[in-house]
């Protein structure tokens, strides 16, 4: 049972509306339904709030749902002693005040019946139809008896999948959690903290992403009071002692009203007090609080054009703070939010934030997806093509979430990944070169864009162009970027097989989205050989006489006629720590000390040979540079090499293949210590995505 107790000090959510006595409503519920020609008295407040947004709504179905809910919950009580029916009534009232349509309110009245009573989904479907049944099923918890510790994460998985088909499922869940948070006071402190933590990590980010600010801000304050009680009390004291320095918001609001009247702009100017968490954040950011820091001015107008007219007047008659200006009308946020944000300073320098929006924008800003009514109602009675719903509330983040959760079959992985995903609270839009748009979290890279666009096909991604320029897969994308992902031809297979190269472990460092991380980790787990460094076949390098300094400057304690070669698997150069082993034919192969071949040689019983570098600082090394083809690439690479002080002994450029070009350079360095800097300089050349030592040193 999801019942929670009513807190003795719980305050009404909105000022200006008569406080609702839940005990009185509970007693009215126990008296039974009213006569057939009118609604039961207990849902009078719900009916009034609903009619305020939907004057023509048919309320008979609400009365019918209330009767079923009251009868099924009769005899059940909340922990504070109220009849349980007060909970679905309160949840329904929250949604009614936000403007939810009748189907949502009907389901909210019944949202706990299947979970906590003998009512079945078949009964709900028979009485109220498929839509109400779907919504009730979507918010019904899974039983701990069946799922054990996985019940909570699997319940959220089920709820999110249901939300993907009908966003009203999450609207009901948010209102349900808000009422439970309001009435959490008599629970044990540890249970309060657990519920508040889940609310903070999952429900509040979901409320933000769905644009339901009215629920999100109150949930934030309630969680703040439980998880940070000392900071909450300190913030409450600051609000109670409101700073009086500088002009008050009332004075500036009146100045703004007068300015708009003189400009003949019809607008409503109201003061929006900051909620507790907002004041707390402002205090941490600004230190000492002034009177204008405790709220914002909200300017409401009739048309979009009026918003810009108001902005022009404010920026003309007051001093604008340009860095604070944001236009969310021309570019709405991913959660449907639209508004103009600005800040202006008065004559004494006091700065006030101003929000400018239409009345319709304000409804959506407060209620988010709830303000859309039923988004699945066919336009002009026409059914969507192919039976598919045209869902304006299915944003990119929800589609991504539904996609990656299918791969996260383990409940713990899903739960951890969900919290991490929802913690990324900003979103950007990027545009593939072949059309469309991708919504990605802020900080996403080309790797994330590849998996968002191609799914598992992104395993074969070899590079990208961002805004027309070649870029590495680790490039962080910005809002509005154009991205062209470059894919290898043919299937992606494990190393050593034919096909594309597949993702490398480094991709996990660049991936920000769960879909990309899960897909990369899955491929690497299925192809463990991709984590191993391939061992090349030895090739005869230049011979270096023992005791003499050859091209590689190696000194080996072996007979003078022995052949010495540098191992192709690790290409040692000064000042690498090296060791040698005698191999067939009496030759000595020199490896870097950390090379995996050293362990294999020791396991075969091969005795190490003392090897050291000579006194000369010079060294010769062969490097491979992998890049995308573009004009002047060779010139830019040779310029970078020359700038680093290296001499080019030989160079080879292979013909382009799948837009990739491989350069082979044999270089003479005046000092081996400069090798790392040289390789970095070559990697920094636009279009170059990898520089590595060659697998074999060239023959002398």
Work out the angle between the directed axes of helices 446-454 and 514-526 (0-180°, nearest 10).
Answer: 80
Cis peptide before 28 (omega within 30 of 0): no
- The H or E element that residue 542 is part of is none
Concatenating the DSSP letter of every residue in 220-238 gives HHHHHHHH-HHHHHHHHHH
- CB of 67 within 8 A of CB of 41? no
Cα(594)–Cα(437) distance, integer angstroms: 46
Cα(581)–Cα(80) distance, integer angstroms: 80
For the chain, how many residues are written? 700
- CB of 445 within 8 A of CB of 473? yes
Cα(278)–Cα(302) distance, integer angstroms: 28
Tokens matching residue 373 = 């009514």
623 closest CA partner among 551, 696, 693, 699 = 693
Q: Compute CA distances 183 → 11, 15, 149, whole Å.
A: 10, 18, 25
Cα(217)–Cα(448) distance, integer angstroms: 31
Cα(80)–Cα(609) distance, integer angstroms: 82
- CB of 70 within 8 A of CB of 27? no
Q: Compute CA distances 580 → 39, 261, 566, 591, 693, whole Å.
A: 93, 89, 9, 6, 19
- CB of 281 within 8 A of CB of 313? no
Cα(623)–Cα(691) distance, integer angstroms: 7
Rounded to 5 degrees, φ, ψ at 538 are: -65, 145
Cα-Cα end-to-end distance for the chain: 81
Cα(548)–Cα(590) distance, integer angstroms: 15
Q: Which residues of 240-254 are buried (b: 16+ CB within 10 A; e: fewer)?
A: eebeeebbbbeebbe
Torsion sign over Cα 2, 364, 15, 228: positive
**Residue 467 buriedness (CB in 10 A; 0-12 / 13-18 / 19+):** middle
Cα(674)–Cα(682) distance, integer angstroms: 12
Catalytic residue positions? Answer: 115-116
Q: Which residues pair with 567 in a beta bridge?
A: none
DSSP designation for 530 = G
243 closest CA partner among 296, 293, 295 = 293
């Amino acid at each position: 049972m999801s019942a929670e107790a009513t807190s003795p000090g719980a305050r009404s959510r909105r000022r200006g509306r008569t406080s609702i006595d839940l005990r009185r409503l509970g007693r009215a519920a126990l008296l039974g339904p009213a006569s057939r020609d009118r609604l039961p008295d207990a849902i009078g407040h719900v009916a009034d709030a609903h009619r305020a947004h939907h004057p023509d709504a048919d309320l008979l179905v609400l009365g019918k749902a209330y009767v079923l809910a009251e009868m099924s919950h009769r005899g059940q009580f909340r922990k504070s002693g109220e009849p349980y029916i007060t909970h679905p009534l309160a949840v329904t009232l929250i949604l009614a005040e936000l403007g939810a349509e009748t189907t949502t309110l009907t389901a909210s009245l019944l949202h706990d019946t299947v979970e906590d009573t003998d009512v079945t989904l078949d009964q709900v479907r028979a009485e109220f139809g498929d839509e109400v049944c779907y919504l009730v099923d979507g918010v019904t918890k899974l039983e701990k008896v069946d799922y054990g510790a996985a019940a909570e994460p699997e319940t959220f998985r089920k709820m999110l999948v249901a939300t993907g088909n009908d966003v009203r499922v999450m609207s009901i869940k948010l209102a349900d959690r808000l009422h439970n948070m309001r009435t959490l006071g008599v629970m044990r402190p540890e249970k309060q903290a657990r519920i508040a933590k889940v609310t903070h990590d999952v429900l509040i980010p979901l409320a933000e992403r769905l644009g339901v600010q009215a629920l999100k801000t109150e949930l934030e304050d309630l969680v703040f009071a439980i998880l940070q009680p000392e900071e909450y009390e300190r913030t409450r004291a600051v609000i109670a002692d409101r700073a009086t320095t500088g002009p008050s918001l009332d004075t500036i609001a009146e100045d703004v009203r007068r300015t708009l009247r003189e400009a003949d702009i019809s607008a409503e100017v109201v003061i929006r007090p900051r909620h507790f968490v907002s004041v707390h954040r402002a205090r941490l950011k600004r230190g000492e609080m002034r009177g204008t820091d405790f709220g914002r001015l909200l300017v409401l107008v009739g048309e979009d054009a009026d918003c810009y007219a108001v902005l022009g007047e404010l920026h003309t008659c007051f001093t604008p703070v340009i860095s604070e200006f944001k236009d969310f009308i021309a570019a709405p946020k991913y959660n449907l939010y639209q508004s103009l944000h600005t800040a202006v300073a008065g004559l004494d320098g006091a700065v006030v934030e101003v929000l400018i929006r239409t009345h319709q924008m304000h409804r959506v800003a407060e209620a988010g997806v709830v303000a859309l009514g039923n988004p699945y109602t066919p336009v002009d009675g026409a059914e969507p093509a192919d039976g598919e719903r045209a869902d304006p509330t299915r944003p990119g983040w929800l589609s991504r979430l539904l996609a990656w959760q299918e791969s996260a079959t383990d409940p713990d992985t899903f739960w951890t990944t969900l919290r991490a995903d929802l913690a990324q609270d900003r979103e950007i839009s990027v545009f593939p070169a072949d059309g469309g748009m991708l919504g990605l979290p802020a900080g996403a890279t080309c790797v994330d864009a590849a998996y968002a666009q191609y799914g598992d096909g992104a395993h074969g991604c070899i590079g990208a162009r961002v805004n027309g320029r070649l870029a590495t897969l680790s490039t962080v994308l910005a809002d509005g970027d154009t991205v062209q992902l470059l894919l290898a031809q043919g299937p992606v297979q494990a190393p050593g097989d034919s096909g594309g190269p597949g993702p490398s472990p480094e991709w996990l460092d660049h991936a920000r989205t769960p879909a990309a991380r899960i897909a990369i980790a899955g491929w690497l787990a299925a192809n463990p050989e991709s984590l191993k460094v391939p061992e090349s076949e030895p090739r005869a390098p230049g011979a270096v006489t023992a005791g003499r300094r050859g091209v590689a400057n190696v000194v080996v304690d072996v007979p003078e006629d022995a052949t010495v070669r540098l191992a192709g698997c690790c290409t040692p150069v000064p000042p690498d720590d090296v060791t040698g082993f005698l191999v067939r034919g009496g030759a000595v192969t020199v490896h870097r000390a950390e090379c995996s071949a050293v362990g294999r040689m020791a396991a075969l019983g091969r005795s190490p040979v003392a090897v050291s570098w000579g006194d000369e600082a010079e060294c010769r090394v062969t490097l491979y540079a992998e890049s995308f083809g573009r004009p002047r690439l060779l010139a830019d690479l040779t310029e970078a090499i020359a700038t680093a002080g290296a001499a080019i002994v030989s160079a080879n450029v292979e013909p382009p293949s799948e837009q990739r070009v491989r350069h082979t350079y044999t270089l003479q360095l005046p000092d081996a210590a400069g090798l790392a800097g040289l390789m970095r300089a070559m990697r920094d050349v636009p279009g170059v995505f990898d520089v590595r030592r060659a697998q074999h040193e060239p023959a002398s």
